[in-house]
Structure 1
Amino acid sequence: MSAAESIPQQHAHAVHILYSDHHGWLSGWLRKRLGCAHNAADVAQDTFMRIIASRDALLGVDQPRAWLATTAKRLIIDRARRQALEQAYLAEMALLADSLPCHPAPDETLMALEALDQIGAALQAISARAREAFLLHYLDQQTHAAIAAQLGVSTRMVQKYLVQALLECRSQCAALAQ
C-alpha cells in the first residue's frame, strides 16, 4: 500500500477515535449551551462533518475537546448569523407586504429562501476568514477597515476575502449566475 492510499485510512481511523472518544461529551456540552437536544445533535453532526472535510486538521491536535468546542462555537455563530439573515429578510418582506398593495407570490418567497440556502452553502465552501469577512461586511455592515482590524489582516486581504466569497456565491448559486 502506498503512502497516498494510507492517508485516507489514517484520517478515517483518527476521526473514528475522535468521534468515539468525544461525541458524547460534545453532544452534552452543546445540549447545555443550546438548551435543545435536537439543535445540539445537529451542531455535533456538523462539527464532525467539518472535521472530516478538513483532512489535515487531525494532525497534531493536542486538545481535541478544545478543538471540538471551538469548531462547534463557530458553527453556532454561523447558524445564528444565517438565522438573523433569514429573519431580517422575512421582516423586510413583512414590511413590504404591509406597504405594498400586492404581496409576493409564494413561489417568489420560496425562490428567495432557496437563494439564501444556496448562499449559505456557498459560504460553507470558503475559508472561515473569508466567510467571516463576508458576513461582517454584508450582514453586520462593517467597513473593510473595521473587518481588517477585527481579523488582524490588511484591508486588501479583506477585499480578497470578499471577492473570494462573491465568486463562490456566483459559482454555486444558479439564480445569481444568470
Structure 2
Amino acid sequence: MPLTSHTAAVQQIYEQHHSWLFGWLKGKLHDTCDAADVAHDTFLRILGSRNAVQIREPRDYLATIARGLVIDRYRRRAIEIAYLETLAARPEATAISEEDKALIIETLVAVDKALAGLGARAQRIFMLSQIEGLTYQQIACELKVSLTTVKKHMIRALTECSLIMASL
C-alpha cells in the first residue's frame, strides 16, 4: 500500500474520530492532559502500523488501542510508585539522577512486560528467585514442584527478560 493512501486514511480517521476518542478517554481517565496524551499516542500507533486503509470500524479500533495504552500507563505508574516507595524506604540516602530513575523505571516496565507473557507459575518462580533471593531448591520445596520445573521456568523467564533488555 502506498504511504500516501495510508497517511490519507489516518488523516480521515483523525478528522472524523479524534474528538470522540478524546471525549471517551476524558470520561475514562478524568484528566484532560492524560486523555490528550493517550489520544495522541493512539494515532501514533495507527500511523506507525501502516494498515489504516484496512480499518473498517475506526471507533472500535481506536478504543482497543487506547484501552491497551491506558493499561500500559497504569502499569507504568504502579511500577514507578513501587520503585519510588522502595527507594524511599532504603536506610541510607541514595542520590539518583532523574535520568537514572527514568532508565530504571523503563527497565522495570520492560521486565514486567516480559513477565506478563509468562504463566503465573513462571512469574512466581522468577519473583521468588530474583526478589526474595530464594535458591532454586528452596523454590521447588515452597511451591511443591520439581527442581527441573523451577529451572525450566527460570530459563524461560530469563530468556524473555534478556530479549526485552536487548531491545532497549
- Note whether the superposition's TM-score is higher than 0.5: yes
Q: Which residue of 1 aligns with 2:95?
A: 105
1:21-66 deviation per Cα after TM superposition (whole angstroms, max 9, x unaligned) = 100100011111111111100000000011111113x243221101
Give the TM-score of the pair, scaled to structure 2.
Answer: 0.69
47, 50, 58: which one pairs with 2:45?
50
- Distance between the aligned counterparts of 1:34 and 1:119, measured in 2? 24
114, 119, 130: which one pairs with 2:103?
114
CA contact (8 A) 1:26 1:68 kept: yes
Gaps of 5+ in 1: 1-5, 124-130, 147-155, 173-178
Q: Percent identity?
A: 34
Count of residue correspondences: 139
With a CA cutoff of 8 Å and minimum separation of 6, indicate the structure with the bigger relative contact order: 2
CA 1:164/1:20 → structure 2, altered by over 3 Å: closer, same or farther?
farther
Say which one has the larger Rg: 2
CA 1:7/1:144 → structure 2, altered by over 3 Å: closer, same or farther?
farther
Q: Which residue of 2 aligns with 1:87?
A: 81
Gaps of 5+ in 2: 125-151
1:95-128 deviation per Cα after TM superposition (whole angstroms, max 9, x unaligned) = 21xxx2x211133x641333323665xx5xxxxx
1:66-91 deviation per Cα after TM superposition (whole angstroms, max 9, x unaligned) = 11011000000000000111011011
Q: Does 1:142 align with 2:92?
A: no
CA RMSD, 1 decimal: 3.2
Which amino acid counterpart does residue 13 of structure 2 have in structure 1? L
- Distance between the aligned counterparts of 1:51 and 1:14, measured in 2? 10
Which amino acid counterpart does residue 63 of structure 2 have in structure 1? A
- Distance between the aligned counterparts of 2:108 and 2:162, measured in 1? 9
